[in-house]
């Protein structure tokens, strides 16, 4: 449910553009909530009784979905291409169509951005222009607000 308070004179002066604005803002708020449910939902009523991906992966009963980085690679700046390749290799072939990375903006910059910029043949010109959604290793990267974002995570 969403509510928006609008003054009567504002509503009368610009009804169509106001309706567009309200619809956009409420849609964005709903999308942010859906992302939170998908990622950190804990099964309680604020999350519609649903459990998110990160919550499940933090549960030891779902450890088969985890891939450990190399020893000593426990922060974003330490994750390397081998760690990401190990993760990609864990994905079953049947699940690759439509698969994507979901991470925080900090992870996207500190890991994927660093790896792409340090790879031979890449320049700033070949990496620009995909601000909202980049890719790595052929898989799209989606930045989500509710993913861990501390560089030391």
Tell me the mean pLDDT in the region 60-74: 87
Total-model pTM: 0.73
Mean pLDDT of the chain: 84
Task: Choose between 69 and 22: higher pLDDT.
Answer: 69
**Residue whose structure tokens are 């992302």:** 35
User: What's the pLDDT band for 73 if we cut at 50, 70, 90?
Assistant: very high
Task: Choose between 112 and 133: higher pLDDT.
Answer: 112
Distances in whole angstroms, Cα of residue 148 to Cα of each of 7, 36, 73, 123: 39, 12, 16, 28
Round to whole Å and give the CA distance between 88 and 82.
Answer: 10
Instruction: Looking at mean pLDDT, say which of 13-22, 32-41, 111-120, 121-130 comes out highest.
Output: 32-41
């Amino acid at each position: 449910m969403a509510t928006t308070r609008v003054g009567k004179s504002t509503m009368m002066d610009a009804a169509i553009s106001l309706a567009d604005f309200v619809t956009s803002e409420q849609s964005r708020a709903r999308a942010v909530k859906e992302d939170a449910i998908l990622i950190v939902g804990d099964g309680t009523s604020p999350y519609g009784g649903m459990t998110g991906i990160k919550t499940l992966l933090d549960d030891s009963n779902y450890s088969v979905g985890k891939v450990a980085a190399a020893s000593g690679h426990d922060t974003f700046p330490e994750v390397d291409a081998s760690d990401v390749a190990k993760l990609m290799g864990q994905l079953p072939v049947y699940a690759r169509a439509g698969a994507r990375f979901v991470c925080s903006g900090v992870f996207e910059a500190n890991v994927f951005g660093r790896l792409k910029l340090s790879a031979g043949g890449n320049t700033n010109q070949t990496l620009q222009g995909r601000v909202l959604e980049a890719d790595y290793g052929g898989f799209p990267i989606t930045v989500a607000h509710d993913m861990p974002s501390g560089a030391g995570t």
